[in-house]
Amino acid sequence: MIDQNRSVVDLSHVVSPGFPGHPSSVAARVAASKDFASGVCFSQRWDMDEHWGTHLDAPAHFAPGERTVDDIPAADLVLPAAVLDIRDRAARSPDAVVGVADVRAWERRNGPLPAAVLALTGRSELIGDRRAYLGLDAHDQPHWPAFAPEVAEFLVAERPQVGAIGIDTPSLDTPAGERDGCPVHRIWLHGRRYGLEHLTNLAALPDAGATIVVGVPRFQGGSGGPARVLGLRPART
């Protein structure tokens, strides 16, 4: 039974063929496989990338021989979460990054980091406008906020309790970082660590005290998968 004192926030976008996915992604396709006119039930067949819509990046996505999505322990999919709010900076610069200073500032206010670190940039509010969401400039080059490689290195070396990072943009790396080989992905995605991309509604969570639940298919040998990510706000007292 759901605890009525604990509200649930959906941190996932609706999956659709029209979702403004990463520029390198192939758009999803959907078609009816059964319908009421010809049978007794309705169902659809989906054709989409493992990284379409709100999704999880498993270590195998960037590190050969590392853990695939079906090998992620269930306990690692239910984690206490910190929300790092960089909306002001992201509003001033489409290439803003989450840095070590943001982590330290959060810890000064709230104490030690929990197991998940989520970056709130405000970009998900632009999901209805593909150009704005991807930050396409006059030359159709994308721009979006992301994590700095330095903060990924810091978390790996200094905050080993953190097992997941996530963001409300198309990637853990900035587009410039992706052109430079995706350093945040390559630093972060090892062992039991994973990433979450295309999150939404992070502003509905408190800075500290929430828990996330990541529902992701156990694709055999998968590099990741579309995810229904839920945020559980602390119970009212």
**What is the pLDDT at residue 235?**
82
Q: How far apart are CA 94 and CA 145, in angstroms?
A: 6
Q: How far apart are CA 111 and CA 207, in angstroms?
A: 11
pTM for the full model?
Answer: 0.95
Residues 6+ apart with CB under 8 A from 87: 120, 121, 122, 203
Tell me if residue 200 falls in helix, strand or coil: coil
One digit per residue, the tens of pLDDT, for the chain of length 237 reads: 455 556 999 999 999 999 999 999 999 999 999 989 888 899 999 999 999 999 999 999 999 999 999 999 999 999 999 999 999 999 999 999 999 999 999 999 999 999 999 999 999 999 999 999 999 999 999 999 999 999 999 999 999 999 999 999 999 999 999 999 999 999 999 999 999 999 999 999 999 999 999 999 999 999 999 999 999 999 864
What phi and psi values does residue 193 have, to the nearest 5 degrees? -85, 145
